[in-house]
Structure 1
Amino acid sequence: MTSALRPSARTTEADGPALPPSMMERVTLIMDLFERPQTRLTLEAISRRTQLPRSTTHRILDQLVRLDWLRHTAAGYTLGARALGLGGREIDHSALRAAAAPHLLDLAVRTRMVVHLAVLDGPEIYYLDKIGGRAAFDIPSKVGGRAVAHCTGLGKAMLAWLSAEEVEDRCAQVMEPRTPQSIGRLDQLHRELGLVRRRNGLAIERGECFPHIGCVGLALRGPEGPVAAISVVGDDGSALELVAPLVVNVVRAVSEELLRTPRPDRHEVLVG
């Protein structure tokens, strides 16, 4: 968002700068700080940047969290499901999809497997793209669909780069297993995410989300956390480790594409 509002320059003798006169203006000041879906800000940063008193900022933030406009995690405040559903946020996803599309197609052709692109949304992943010809019909995922993050390679690849507290905040209420192979407890999930980090970000999943289906995924990361993830999907007996270097190369290529994007708010991404 680009703000047209700023705190009033009017002053009072005792209180310094006057507050914007309406609650809507104060809420707008706060929401305008969340310029991208991945933005995370602390209470102190929001209060400082809006020039609103800390107590006023905290009160408004609590209301925004209750109404699902924002989420509060151990790492700070970030956009909630209601805000992420606004059409104006999709420009970031459009840029990401455009940068990734040719590389996803090349990966699907080279592996003859299904390729996914997804972002993290609360405890779930949200599929932005799916490529794979006839093989795609055998995989029960769809563009615009969702799956629980801790049961997917895509989700684990992104969760691995969040703090332990944020992982628990996102996943604690959805830990029931989906299949006999699913991770069902937080301690198991933390061990798995540690393994992902030791593999330089590669996440492997076999039959945890859908029976008889496996995948290998890797996240694109930015300064504020995971931006998205890319995976190759096949049956759970596939030699996923053999296609992992191709996934790494594609994530690197998409990262470089995003860095070349001539946008002032372009994604800054890291690999692995």
Structure 2
Amino acid sequence: MRSTQRDGGPTSVIGRAFGLLAAFRPTDGALSLSELARRTGLSKATVHRLVHQMAEQGAVEISAEGVRVGTRLFELGQLAARPRSLRDAAAPHLADLREATGETVHLAVSDGAEVLYVQKLESRRVPDVDSRVGGRMPLYCTAVGKVLLAHAPADVVREVLAGPLERRTPRTVVAPGLLERELARIRETGVGEEREESTVGVACVASPVFATSGKVVAAVSITGRSTRVDPSRLAPAVRTAALGISRSLRSAGWLPEDVRSRPG
């Protein structure tokens, strides 16, 4: 008989609740209980019970159309100290970069083996880049991700390079040796590039942001259609913006690794 829960899935109430929230995708509206059960591997009865408990706390909203992520989560998300203070320091530099290049600008931090986008200023051109604040991508195939990976602790680099490395497009680099050499170049030049490695038709260039201690805490990038964006040509602009954000963080004495680190 097939289990109604995936092997290795969360067993705690909190783990299952977060699993339900993580089942929602950026393009989703309301989801049915059956669809949530399918995506999470939980039984429909478990989903029904958890959804109603979460609705009492405002984490989700239940209507005739189905279940939606609740506005209470948006409110709580605004309290995240690290992204908010980082975005405040970066705001004028990101605006200048978008104005100077006309392309989409991202600010991102690392979270495990993934990039977490904490700010996006959209290009006024069409079509736009398919990304969002709060969205995630693998470290190894994005410009911001490779910049962050180049400055990550050795154990994180080993874990990422050990794979598996999904070939997301025909141009994705999945050979660990090639990635290691690219990370070394990034540390030397202060610039990382992507040419259709994460998404067909998209190119970007990124540079690291340093906190007071000299630790890389974020990366900033210019992203656009590969027919328009030449990473080599735009590298000086993105590096100037990243240095400006770094200066703003140093002026503020920003030490996220000391005062905002995760417990444990």
Using the size of structure 1 for normalisation, the TM-score is 0.60
Q: How does 1:109-128 map to 2 (within 5 A)?
A: 109-128=99-118
Instruction: Tell me, yes or no, if the aligned pair for 1:259 and 1:267 is still in contact at 8 Å.
Output: no
Instruction: Tell me, yes or no, if the aligned pair for 1:122 and 1:170 is still in contact at 8 Å.
Output: no
Deviation at 1:197, TM superposition (A): 2.2
Instruction: Tell me, yes or no, if the aligned pair for 1:113 and 1:132 is still in contact at 8 Å.
Output: yes
Is residue 151 from structure 1 mapped to residue 146 from structure 2 by the alignment? no
Letter in 2 for 1:218: S
Is residue 260 from structure 1 mapped to residue 251 from structure 2 by the alignment? yes
From 233, 239, 245, the equivalent of 1:248 is: 239
Is residue 206 from structure 1 mapped to residue 162 from structure 2 by the alignment? no
Is residue 191 from structure 1 mapped to residue 171 from structure 2 by the alignment? no
Deviations 1:123-145 (A, max 9, x none): 11000111124337521111110
Deviations 1:32-66 (A, max 9, x none): xxxxxxxxxxxxxxxxxxxxxxxxxxxxxxxxxxx
State how far apart, in whole Å, the 2-side matches of 1:89 and 1:169 are: 31
State how far apart, in whole Å, the 1-side matches of 2:84 and 2:200 are: 31
From 135, 139, 162, the equivalent of 1:172 is: 162
Counterpart for residue 220 of structure 1: 209
State how far apart, in whole Å, the 1-side matches of 2:170 and 2:224 are: 18
Counterpart for residue 27 of structure 2: none
Greater alpha carbon shift after TM alignment, 181-190 vs 236-245: 236-245
Instruction: Tell me, yes or no, if the aligned pair for 2:94 and 2:241 is still in contact at 8 Å.
Output: yes
Counterpart for residue 92 of structure 1: 82
State how far apart, in whole Å, the 2-side matches of 1:165 and 1:89 are: 30
- The 3 A distance-change label for structure 1 pair 89 and 157 is farther
SS at structure 2 position matched to 1:135: coil
Counterpart for residue 129 of structure 2: 139
Counterpart for residue 235 of structure 1: 225
Instruction: Tell me, yes or no, if the aligned pair for 1:178 and 1:208 is still in contact at 8 Å.
Output: yes
Using the size of structure 2 for normalisation, the TM-score is 0.62
State how far apart, in whole Å, the 1-side matches of 2:129 and 2:95 are: 17
Deviation at 1:184, TM superposition (A): 1.1
Deviation at 1:161, TM superposition (A): 1.5
Counterpart for residue 46 of structure 1: none
State how far apart, in whole Å, the 2-side matches of 1:171 and 1:146 are: 18
Instruction: Tell me, yes or no, if the aligned pair for 2:128 and 2:224 is still in contact at 8 Å.
Output: no
State how far apart, in whole Å, the 2-side matches of 1:168 and 1:205 are: 21
Instruction: Tell me, yes or no, if the aligned pair for 1:115 and 1:233 is still in contact at 8 Å.
Output: yes
Identity %, equivalent residues: 35
Q: How many residues align?
A: 181
- Kindly report the root-mean-square deviation, in angstroms, between the aligned alpha carbons of the 2 structures: 2.5
Instruction: Tell me, yes or no, if the aligned pair for 2:150 and 2:184 is still in contact at 8 Å.
Output: yes
State how far apart, in whole Å, the 2-side matches of 1:158 and 1:105 are: 22
Greater alpha carbon shift after TM alignment, 218-227 vs 97-106: 218-227
State how far apart, in whole Å, the 2-side matches of 1:242 and 1:220 are: 20
Deviations 1:5-40 (A, max 9, x none): xxxxxxxxxxxxxxxxxxxxxxxxxxxxxxxxxxxx
Deviations 1:184-237 (A, max 9, x none): 1222211211222232x2001100000011001011134474200000012224
SS at structure 2 position matched to 1:138: coil
Counterpart for residue 20 of structure 1: none
Counterpart for residue 105 of structure 1: 95
Consecutive unaligned residues in structure 1, runs of 5 or more = 1-85
State how far apart, in whole Å, the 1-side matches of 2:126 and 2:185 are: 28
